[in-house]
Structure 1
Amino acid sequence: MKQNRTRISDVMDEIQSRITSRTYLPGTRLPSVRAQARAMELSVSTVVEAYERLAAEGFISARRGSGFYVTGPVAPLALAEIGPKLDREVDPLWVSRQSLETDGTVLKPGCGWLPAAWMYESGMRRALRTLARSDTAELAEYATPLGHPALRKFLARRMATTGVEAAPDQIMLTDSGTQAIDLICRFLLEPGDTVLVDDPCYFNFHALLKAHRVRAVGVPYTPNGPDVAAFETALQNHSPRLYITNSGIHNPTGAVLSPVVAHRLLKLADHADLVIVEDDIFADFETNPAPRLAAFDGLSRVIQISSFSKTVSASLRCGYIAARPDWIEGLIDLKIATSFGGGRLAANIVLAALTNSGYRKHMEMVRLRLAGAMEKILPRLDEIGVKPWFVPRAGMFLWCRLPAGMDAASIARSCLKDKVVLAPGNAFSQSLSAGDFLRFNIAQSTDDKIFNVLERALSEQA
């Protein structure tokens, strides 16, 4: 009897999961009891009982001679219920929560930002003092729809250093890089569309695309960029509307796009009428600038976005979108509709911080510190059998493979008990093919405890 109750619960959980994830919307006819029984390899009587219980609880209703239908209003969106089921230690949203909610006693080699002590604190304090003396409008008024004019002019000059030609009126400020992608998705996508992402890629791309009810398809990433043959196959098989990527330092691998791959991608994108979103958030970590798709394309079908949370301050939320003028017009309307005015105060602070003479020296020091951390951390990982997939020339990330037979999710679960937050590979992988990988943030991996805890977890799983 207990086993049968478990099987009934399995059917109920499956149906409720599909309702919660909005796969089954109100009015959707459920599979017949026979079809559901075949799909789950259960008896018809088990499915009938499960359906009856769901009806009793109000999730579904029976229509005589027609079947069972989903009832009620649309379920509140639960992102964790969409897509393949993962351990919560691997779920992208859970990794983010663990990194954001912890106190100072928790070590975070799996997070995606610099330690607070590495950020541009002195420049922020100077900028805040300067802004405190500004007129009332700067402190109290809404920003213009495009955002702070002087910051947009500065960004246009800054983008030109990587070959991206954008007039100030082709740049719209946003509250963050995440808001930039969110607005672009609202602008270009409909539920059910397909979006290509790198496999692996920044895990919040997965979560954001789930929120927009679109299908993400991963393209294997190589040390020179996405696998071009796989990219072409994905275009042919899935007819995607959008491709989201990093062209500078790639997250999580640290790789950079080669010029040859960039040209091939743009040729394929042009033929397939594909729009590319290029996230350039790690530009200031580069020692030698990588090719930019937006530079080769001239902002025709490439949209470039970025923010300053990785170098100036994660507390200060300010980003931008650079795109062709007609798209900027539509994006302005969406920005007003969803957030009305942008962060005028934040834009002023960012501009003051970036144009201060200390910012260049600050980033030089950060790059030197990262290089030093890389030299120390690589041998420490090697000692415990953790190998880099690729050794980056710059940036904060190391994408590493665990010893044979090790499961990154289990390792992360074990280390979490010892207050060490790791980032398992499958959080970054749409195909869930990175189960033996971890992403390390070398700036957050300088404490000996991390390696001691990780070594113990590896030995326990061996």
Structure 2
Amino acid sequence: MADIRARVDGRLLPPGARAPSIRDLAQRLGVSKSTVVEAYDRLVAEGVLAARPGSGFYVAKRVAPLALMGAALAGVDPPPDRAVDPLWLMRQALEPGEGVLKPGCGWLPGDWMPEQAIRRAFRALARAPAAALLEYDTPLGHPPLRRHLADRFASRGITAGAEQILLTDSGSQAIDLICRYLLEPGDAVLLDDPCYYNFKTVVAAHRARAVPVPYTPTGPDLTAFAQAAATHRPRLYITNAALHNPTGASLTAPVAHKLLTCAAAHDILIVEDDIFSDFEAEPTPRLAAFDGLERVIHIGSFSKTLSAAVRCGYVVARGDWIQGIADVKLATAFGNATTNPRVVHQLLTDGSYRRHMEGVRGRLAEAMGRTLRRLDALGLRPWTEPRGGMFLWAALPPGVSSVAVARQALEQGVVLAPGDVFSLTNSADGFLRFNVAQCDNPRIFEVLARALEA
């Protein structure tokens, strides 16, 4: 019952959707079919499901508050035994706690960031004209930063003028604005399986239908992508461009070309999240470069590479789409901040950011090697060895549940990222995502060893 409720409240099963068959759910959860029948009967009595004789069970035409996604958005404390879902991981990773280690989080340690350079940029901002500190910026955002970003994108083969770039408060806001602009409730959206967990929550928040596409070490499974496109007629496909979250894999050129051909044939728009681009030493293919921004919207931010506090993201798209997305931003957030974009612009143009990222890439490469060796000693194997970045998708020994391991580790002050948090089909319980930059403390692996044994 909890499994079905979580899917309904998280919009993975929207109103009117058919519930999993009794046989399928029994096999997946390892229970008898009679147990599933009784659970479905109780859910019907509660009004969660409706029975259709001869057809099966369907989600009732009721709409639970969006706040019920894991109960986390409702402003109440979640129960101790709440589902281990995306919002569970967000809460655990963001919650302060003395001595808590967070190899499951998605950001670099604070002491890896260019603190002194950021302080210098803020001191320079304090000397700027009053408008920089007191007034709204232009509808598209700080023009000097947009012009500089256009030059950066050109070096990666993405041709876009400053008028095709909209600044946002973050990468997450960029995705939210795009979904507000392009999606209607009930629209299908293709997502990688596994994928960045916030893609799942954003799609659910917009009451769209998330459709999984298996991800491979070279990109999405093209056969499955084509089948999903033909069956569900999706409006969008949202993916990471490179150093895929959580797997660390990167798209190859042949897969990129075939993917764009398939997307064009089925009139699918693609949102390419390139937030990890600066972690790459050697750039891999970008869909926006191949496509020329015809049906690809390119987004990113500096939250992962520069500062989670100095939040600044961007959307790069066709001019007509940018104006529409900018209108949505004006309607929902009114204007643009001036401070963060000015700080980011200074760090990009005074050499601080380039030097910082050169050091980060070297540290990440060393951390990846150390983490691989430590995990190998515990019997965990990498799904693929990433070309860079911070994430490592590791397979647990056969028969071990990542949720069970994560719960055990949390009791000992270590936050892990279980595989099913990233999976639409709940097919990744045998994996954990590790942030290698957060894995230097030996206690992490001592706790992990005890959790695996337990």
TM-score bracket for this pair, using the shorter chain length: 0.7 to 0.9
Counterpart check, 1:156 vs 2:150: yes
**How far apart, in 2, do the equivalents of 1:367 and 1:217 lie?**
34
Counterpart amino acid of residue 398 in structure 2: A
Selected match of 1:452 from 440, 443, 446:
446
Match of 1:112 in 2: 106
Match of 1:183 in 2: 177
Asked whether the 8 Å contact 1:123–1:356 carries over to 2, the reply is no
Asked whether the 8 Å contact 2:361–2:388 carries over to 1, the reply is yes
Match of 1:356 in 2: 350
Shift of 1:316: 1.1
Shift of 1:358: 2.2
Counterpart check, 1:195 vs 2:189: yes
Selected match of 1:263 from 257, 260, 265:
257
Counterpart amino acid of residue 231 in structure 1: F
Distance 1:238 1:207, change over 3 A: same
Match of 1:375 in 2: 369
Match of 2:57 in 1: none
Counterpart check, 1:136 vs 2:130: yes
Match of 1:61 in 2: none
**How far apart, in 2, do the equivalents of 1:296 and 1:22 lie?**
32
Name which of structure 1's ranges 366-375 and 38-47 shifts more when overlaid on structure 2. Answer: 38-47
**How far apart, in 2, do the equivalents of 1:44 and 1:74 lie?**
18
Aligned residues between the structures? 418
SS of aligned partner of 2:97: coil
Counterpart check, 1:80 vs 2:70: yes
**How far apart, in 1, do the equivalents of 2:181 and 2:139 lie?**
16
Counterpart amino acid of residue 122 in structure 1: Q
Asked whether the 8 Å contact 2:6–2:69 carries over to 1, the reply is no
TM-score norm. by structure 2 comes to: 0.86
**Structural mapping, 1:305-454, within 5 Å:** 305-454=299-448
Shift of 1:418: 0.5
TM-score norm. by structure 1 comes to: 0.85
Shift of 1:441: 0.2
Distance 1:46 1:90, change over 3 A: closer
Cα deviation, 1:208-260, whole Å, max 9, x if unaligned, reads: 11101111111111111111111111111111100001112111111111000
Name which of structure 1's ranges 415-424 and 93-102 shifts more when overlaid on structure 2. Answer: 93-102
Asked whether the 8 Å contact 1:89–1:413 carries over to 2, the reply is no
Asked whether the 8 Å contact 2:6–2:70 carries over to 1, the reply is no
Cα deviation, 1:281-325, whole Å, max 9, x if unaligned, reads: 011100110100000000110000000001110011110100001
**How far apart, in 2, do the equivalents of 1:23 and 1:312 lie?**
37
Distance 1:45 1:235, change over 3 A: closer
Counterpart amino acid of residue 80 in structure 1: G
Counterpart check, 1:126 vs 2:116: no
Shift of 1:104: 4.3
Shift of 1:75: 4.2
Distance 1:41 1:398, change over 3 A: closer
SS of aligned partner of 1:181: helix
Asked whether the 8 Å contact 1:120–1:311 carries over to 2, the reply is no
SS of aligned partner of 2:70: helix
Distance 1:43 1:273, change over 3 A: closer
Cα deviation, 1:122-157, whole Å, max 9, x if unaligned, reads: 221111011010010000101110000000000000
Shift of 1:451: 0.3
**How far apart, in 2, do the equivalents of 1:450 and 1:205 lie?**
28
Distance 1:327 1:410, change over 3 A: same
Asked whether the 8 Å contact 2:11–2:207 carries over to 1, the reply is no
**How far apart, in 2, do the equivalents of 1:277 and 1:92 lie?**
20
Asked whether the 8 Å contact 1:89–1:95 carries over to 2, the reply is no
List alignment gaps of at least 5 residues for structure 1: 1-9, 29-37, 55-69
Distance 1:440 1:23, change over 3 A: closer
Alignment RMSD, CA only? 2.9
SS of aligned partner of 1:218: strand
Structure with max Cα Rg:
1
Asked whether the 8 Å contact 1:22–1:75 carries over to 2, the reply is no
Counterpart check, 1:217 vs 2:211: yes
Task: Give aligned-pair identity as a percent.
Answer: 54
**How far apart, in 1, do the equivalents of 2:63 and 2:341 lie?**
40
Distance 1:307 1:175, change over 3 A: same
Distance 1:193 1:420, change over 3 A: same
**How far apart, in 2, do the equivalents of 1:102 and 1:308 lie?**
23
SS of aligned partner of 2:392: strand
Distance 1:208 1:353, change over 3 A: same
Counterpart amino acid of residue 68 in structure 2: A
Counterpart check, 1:230 vs 2:220: no
Asked whether the 8 Å contact 2:12–2:209 carries over to 1, the reply is no
Cα deviation, 1:145-185, whole Å, max 9, x if unaligned, reads: 00000000000001111100000000000111000000000
SS of aligned partner of 2:123: helix
SS of aligned partner of 1:341: coil
**How far apart, in 1, do the equivalents of 2:37 and 2:136 lie?**
59
**Structural mapping, 1:22-33, within 5 Å:** none
Selected match of 2:239 from 217, 223, 245:
245
Shift of 1:90: 2.6
Distance 1:454 1:42, change over 3 A: closer
